[in-house]
Amino acid sequence: MRKLSMDELNRKNLEQFKNAQKAPIIIVLDNVRSMNNVGSVFRTADAFLLESIYLCGVTAQPPHREIQKTALGATESVAWKYFANTLEAVDILKKEGYTIYAVEQADKSIMLDKLSASSNKIALVFGNEISGVEQAVINACHGCIEIPQYGTKHSLNLAVSAGIVIWGVLQNK
pLDDT tens per residue across span 65-110: 999 999 999 999 999 999 999 999 999 999 999 999 999 999 999 9
pTM of the model: 0.96
Q: Order of strands, edge to edge, in the sheet holding 50-56? A: 80-83, 50-56, 23-30, 122-126, 99-103, 143-146, 110-111
Of the CATH numbers 3.40.1280.10, 3.10.20.520, 2.60.40.10, 3.40.50.300, which one belongs to the domain with range 33-171? 3.40.1280.10
